[in-house]
Structures are given as C-alpha cells and as structure tokens.
Chain A
Amino acid sequence: DSGVTQTPKHLITATGQRVTLRCSPRSGDLSVYWYQQSLDQGLQFLIQYYNGEERAKGNILERFSAQQFPDLHSELNLSSLELGDSALYFCASSVEGWADTQYFGPGTRLTVL
C-alpha cells in the first residue's frame, strides 16, 4: 500500500458528461501529480500541484482541470467527455517535487460509453 488513495475505483459515464476524480496524498506529501494511462499511449503526465498551487503542466486537455485543496487532497475534473478519454487515471504524491520519489495510488478506471 503506497499510502495514496483514489476514489472512485471505477467510473462509467456517457459522452458529454463531467466527472470528478479524487486523490488523497500520503501524509506529509505536498506535491500531487495526475497521470493518464491508456493502452496506446502509456503513462502520460497531466498536471502537478504543490501545496495548493499549480506547479507543472503536461499533456492536459483544456477540457480537464485540477485543483489541490488546503488539506492537500486533489481533484481532477474531466468535462465534455469523449470516448477517447476512457483510461486509467493515476494520482501520485511526493514530499516536495520532482526530485523526490513519487508514490502512485491504485488509480481510477474511467469508461466513457
């Protein structure tokens, strides 16, 4: 168990809908990272938050957004969902930044029908 929790474990929704994925980092970790894992593209970095502020952006679509709250949990919001958004979404956390080991949560499997 990495200490990172994610909810829900599975999510099934329809095209055009909006969903929110939730992540709680390990106790003491200030950075949260979101990744998308699809069959054809492997693990793609989406966005990083550090202590409530956006720190780095990767291949995140404009339809996606994230935030980190004062208690350091983070939410990833996906809107106007398309079939191609079906994937595993992982959250990872680290003590501070990229120089620290990232610990991954169990992921949320999103299926868009």
Chain B
Amino acid sequence: GENVEQHPSTLSVQEGDSAVIKCTYSDSASNYFPWYKQELGKGPQLIIDIRSNVGEKKDQRIAVTLNKTAKHFSLHITETQPEDSAVYFCAASIRGSNFGNEKLTFGTGTRLTIIP
C-alpha cells in the first residue's frame, strides 16, 4: 500500500518568514495530494490540494509543488503569521481508481510554530 513520509516533525519560524514542509510518497499511481491544517482541539481542515497533472498550485500565501519523478511534494507558506501555528498533514491517494484503493494515506504531521 501507499506510504507517505513527512518532514520535519516540528518546525519553528519567525513571523514573516517562510515555512516549507516536505512529503514523499511510495506509490507512483497516486495522483491526488491534499494538505490539511489541524488547530488545537479541532479536526483537520483541507487548505490546499494538487493533482498529478500540475506541478504547482498557489492560493494566496500557500503554495504546493509536486515532483512526480521524485515522488515528492511540498507545502510552502510565505509571510507566516501567528495564526499559521498548527499541525499540518500531507496525504496521498489514487483518485478515480477502479480497484478500491482510493483511500487517503496521511503523513505523520508537522507541528509548525510561528514565533512572534
């Protein structure tokens, strides 16, 4: 099955600086890569996603890049703010599969702390 590795497990950055979280996946058939943000006491919330037919997607201060050859994708947060402090999870799945293996496999999470 799919295996997703996520690094780093913790990350502290100065407010205003950029943060980068990296994930690798094992199944070359994976074609959908969402990122979730989990704030304290809440469930994960989808913040951005990317499909394998594009290499980069941006939404305001958040961007995700995908390297299919290396089976690697990353989350970039620019101009970080205190409210960006949370745990971030990457995930991978095979959307549109007829084999019943579309399940989301999550990385182990990155605790991001923004230092004011």
A residues sitting closer than 8 Å to B (CB atoms) are 2, 4, 41-45, 48, 56, 58, 90, 92, 97-99, 101-107
Which residue in chain A gives the minimum CB-CB distance to B108?
A42
Indicate the member of B36, B43, B100 with the most A CB atoms within 10 Å.
B43
Q: Are A98's CB and B106's CB within 8 A?
A: no
The residues of A that contact B89 with a CB separation of less than 8 Å are 42-43
A10 to chain B minimum Cβ distance, whole angstroms, is: 11
The residues of A that contact B43 with a CB separation of less than 8 Å are 2, 4, 90, 92, 104-107
Asked whether B103 is an interface residue with its Cβ less than 8 Å from the other chain, the reply is yes
What CA separation (Å) do A30 and B11 show in the bound complex?
A: 37
The count of A-to-B residue pairs whose CB atoms sit within 8 angstroms is 51
Asked whether B13 is an interface residue with its Cβ less than 8 Å from the other chain, the reply is no
What CA separation (Å) do A2 and B45 show in the bound complex?
A: 8
Asked whether B42 is an interface residue with its Cβ less than 8 Å from the other chain, the reply is yes
Interface of chain B, helix or strand or loop or mixed? loop
Q: Which one, B41, B49, B106, contacts A42 given CB within 8 A?
A: B106
Which residue in chain A gives the minimum CB-CB distance to B100?
A56
What CA separation (Å) do A4 and B100 show in the bound complex?
A: 25
B residues sitting closer than 8 Å to A (CB atoms) are 34, 36, 41-46, 49, 89, 91, 93, 95-96, 100, 102-109
What CA separation (Å) do A104 and B37 show in the bound complex?
A: 11
What CA separation (Å) do A56 and B97 show in the bound complex?
A: 13
The residues of B that contact A42 with a CB separation of less than 8 Å are 89, 106-109
Q: Which one, B34, B41, B44, B102, contacts A97 given CB within 8 A?
A: B102
Q: A98-B95, A99-B102, A104-B43 are in contact. List 5 more A-B contacts (CB 8 A).
A: A42-B89, A42-B108, A43-B91, A48-B103, A106-B42
Q: Are A104's CB and B45's CB within 8 A?
A: yes
Known pairs A42-B89, A42-B109, A43-B89; A98 contacts B45 (CB<8 A): no
